[in-house]
């Protein structure tokens, strides 16, 4: 059948590809004309992750390491990818803020100190003062 890959003999070594060939395949993948399965068929590249490994090594886009078995294709638009990364960073920072708020609640409950009140800052003379305070 045309277009189907034949079973490889597990005892034959993987063919070695030149770096220029790998770069060409990665460039074609990043342009989005073909997906990795189509490229594997087109160039008879064995293995499910070969092209993805080449993309991580030679690609211009960000290819995150696989997490929990989920491997995704990076976004073609670098601006959209940056937005997605910044949204993740914002979620991480929100978790930090939540943790600090819980820490302040514990300090207030256990020690009776409300660190958010202004007069508490007067108890610590070594703290730097803002310029608008007199």
Question: pLDDT at position 75, please?
Answer: 64
| pLDDT digits 0-9 by tens, 118-128 | 665 565 666 66
Closest CA to 36 of 64, 55, 13: 55
- Angle between helix 36-43 and 19-31 (nearest 10): 140
Question: Looking at the whole model, is its pTM more than 0.85?
Answer: no
- H or E element at residue 25: helix 19-31
Q: pLDDT per residue over 29-88, tens digit each?
A: 888 888 889 999 999 898 888 888 898 888 887 776 666 555 556 666 778 888 888 999
Amino acid 9: pLDDT: 57
Residue ranges covered by each domain of the chain: 17-64, 75-123
């Amino acid at each position: 059948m045309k277009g189907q890959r034949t079973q490889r003999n597990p005892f034959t070594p993987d063919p070695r590809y030149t770096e220029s060939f790998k770069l060409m395949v990665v460039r074609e993948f990043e342009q989005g004309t073909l997906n990795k399965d189509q490229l594997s068929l087109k160039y008879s590249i064995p293995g499910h992750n070969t092209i993805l490994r080449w993309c991580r090594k030679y690609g211009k886009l960000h290819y995150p390491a696989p997490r929990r078995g989920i491997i995704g294709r990076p976004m073609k638009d670098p601006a959209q990818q940056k937005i997605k990364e910044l949204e993740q960073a914002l979620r991480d920072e929100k978790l930090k803020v939540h943790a600090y708020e819980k820490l302040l609640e514990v300090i207030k409950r256990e020690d009776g100190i409300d660190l958010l009140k202004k007069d508490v800052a007067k108890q610590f003379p070594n703290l730097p003062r803002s310029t608008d305070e007199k």
